[in-house]
A and B are shown apart, each in its own frame.
Chain A
Amino acid sequence: MLRYILKRFTIMAVTLFIIVTLTFILMHSIPGSPFNQERGTNEAVQANLEEFYNLDEPLYVQYFIYLKAVATFDFGPSIKQPTATVNDLLGRGFPVSLELGLVSIIIAVISGILLGIIAALRHNEIIDYIAMTIAVLGISIPNFILATQLIQTFAVNLKILPAATWSSPMHMILPTIALATGPMAIIARLTRSTMLEVLTQDYIKMARAKGLSPAKIVFKHALRNALMPVVTILGTLLAGILTGTFVLEQIFAIPGMGKYFVESINTRDYPVIMGTTVFYSAFLIFMLFLVDIVYGLLDPRIKLHQKEVK
């Protein structure tokens, strides 16, 4: 197990290095610089600024400075918000984004699995059709459309929920619904189909032949097997939730990391781009690693560690 984890961490480090390098190349291939938009700065001031942020150095030197920043996780001050360092921004934004993402994924997983189980157990009955209609709608409606529609209905017309910002549990309702619906729908459909397949398996018939109660059969024998594919796609869904937060944080004016990320790209705020990208990638890679561990725990046939050949 330890060997496996070490191996995975090495691979993760390599992946992160590739991401970091690609980000650097992409970042500098976009035309423009952080100081382009500011009119009226005289050349001396601009040169001074560039020197301060090491932007006057040749690209390869900048690349090494950048690698050093990644390695020490010190990205320096933001260019556009000179009062804050990148780490300050991350420290402020990440808890908010994490809260939004975490609440959403928990809602998505629990409601998706429940919806899927109900649909499978009531296969081809009206409940099944209702659940799957919800699921298809959830998959086909993009979250930004759903978000604006939710704001229109619940904040503008009904005036029962706040339209934006992130200051109380009430404020969390609309963004998390908007963010969770898509993944929930995917999980519900997947759970339903795998559950239907599992329920026809011989070992379910065997469990019934033992005289077990339907609840025990579903939760002890069927669900664990039906959840394998769900755990597999959980990694992809996490990525989806993460990118979903970029958009939804913009719509709901939530002061999370996504907001800084999008802004930083628009304003070529190089240190912030670097910081957020590295942070997001590291986070996602680590979550995928956790998913693999969970997968191994759920299915005894999957061995995470290779047995040594003697």
Chain B
Amino acid sequence: MDKVLDVKNLHISFTTYGGEVKAVRGVTFHLNKGETLAIVGESGCGKSVTSSSIMGLIPSPPGKIVNGSIMYKGKDLTKATDKEMRKIRGVDISMIFQDPMTALNPTLTVGTQLVEGLKHHKTLSNNEARKQAIAMMHLVGIPNPEERMKQYPHQFSGGMRQRIVIAIALICEPELLIADEPTTALDVTIQAQILDLFGRIQEQLGVSIILITHDLGVVAKIADRIAVMYAGKIIETGTKREIFYHAQHPYTKGLLHSVPRLDLKEAKLIPIDGTPPDLFSPPIGCPFTARCPYAMEVCDKVYPTHSKISDSHHVECWLQDDRAKLVAGSTVTSK
């Protein structure tokens, strides 16, 4: 399959008064054409930083890509100049932000903000740009687009604003769409509509999507593959099926146990105790050791090797090591 994006061994750090925060510590993943990859993890695990780095939007200083590569169309985005990145942003790679209430400029009409990106990247007449904008508003499900073009963001509801944000991101028909928690700020009924919309635009425009979220419900609905991030590392990747039904990493299992389920009689939620490690001085071994119910002596001392469960399913956990299986037996895989 065609790889749209190939991220290898990405390291990103932030210099602060307290020292260097290693927000992303060696992340490797790829995205195939037309698929949706979900990056899940709790707050501060580095998922938003990873996605911002693809857009070249890491505030620098204090942020810095220390190591690694982001290959897009044979070009390493970590080495692209700001001018080159401006030609990629919006046209090839677009981004949707979390909060539609703040993502739109309050002093410009929705139409201006929609057309702006289009006219910036392509030479179009005003009329043609307007037509495309109206078509895009139709696509994302905004009624009366001609009228709505002239209105300001404060005249739209939250869900409608998120549709506008999506329309702005899609207006130049990008190949890759990064959606950073696109439904977090919306109420549930609107969430479902927006998720449906994602499915529809993917079908119509063939765009590849990276979905950043902490909401496994959203993931279950639209993701093809899932990457689970913890403390700046991807600890498990797999297809949606593999992650939901055959999760191997104790952290992934913990996440799944923290989701309310209606289909099981035993509705009790099992939270993951403790908090993620301090990324000023991340642990040498597996960062999940302190919270892991299956932690072994080796976990604290050496970072786990990469284990391949299937072609698509990869885990970084000592429990997958053949020697661990001898000790712990089969109890490991089910809690």
Contact = CB atoms under 8 A, between A and B. Distances in A.
Given A213-B86, A221-B105, 10 more contacts: A206-B95, A210-B120, A211-B86, A211-B89, A211-B120, A212-B86, A212-B116, A300-B109, A300-B154, A301-B154
Contacts of B99: 202
Interface residues of A, number: 21
Interface string B138-173: 000000000000001010000000000100110000
A225 B95 contact: no
Interface of B: 55, 57, 85-91, 94-95, 97-99, 102-109, 116-117, 120-121, 152, 154, 165, 168-169
Interface string A244-277: 0000000000000000000000000000000000
B116 A202 contact: no
B120 A299 contact: no
Contacts of B117: 210-212
Contacts of A213: 86
A197 to B, nearest CB: 12
Given A202-B102, A213-B86, A301-B152, A208 B107 contact: no
Nearest to A228: B107
A210 B116 contact: yes
B89 A299 contact: no
A17 B147 CA distance: 46
Contacts of B106: 203, 225, 299-301
Contact of A224 (B95, B107, B120, B165): B107
A205 interface: yes
Nearest to A300: B152
B104 A210 contact: no
Contacts of A301: 106, 152, 154
B86 A202 contact: no
B108 to A, nearest CB: 7
A211 B121 contact: yes
Given A205-B97, A209-B94, A225 B89 contact: no
Given A211-B87, A221-B108, A300-B154, A205 B57 contact: yes
Given A212-B116, A212-B120, A301-B152, A207 B105 contact: yes
Contact of A211 (B90, B97, B104, B165): B90
A161 to B, nearest CB: 41
Contacts of A203: 102-106
A206 B97 contact: yes
Contact of B107 (A202, A212, A298): A298
Nearest to A208: B57
A165 B223 CA distance: 77
A201 interface: yes
Interface string A40-64: 0000000000000000000000000
Contacts of A205: 57, 97, 103
B168 to A, nearest CB: 7
B114 to A, nearest CB: 10
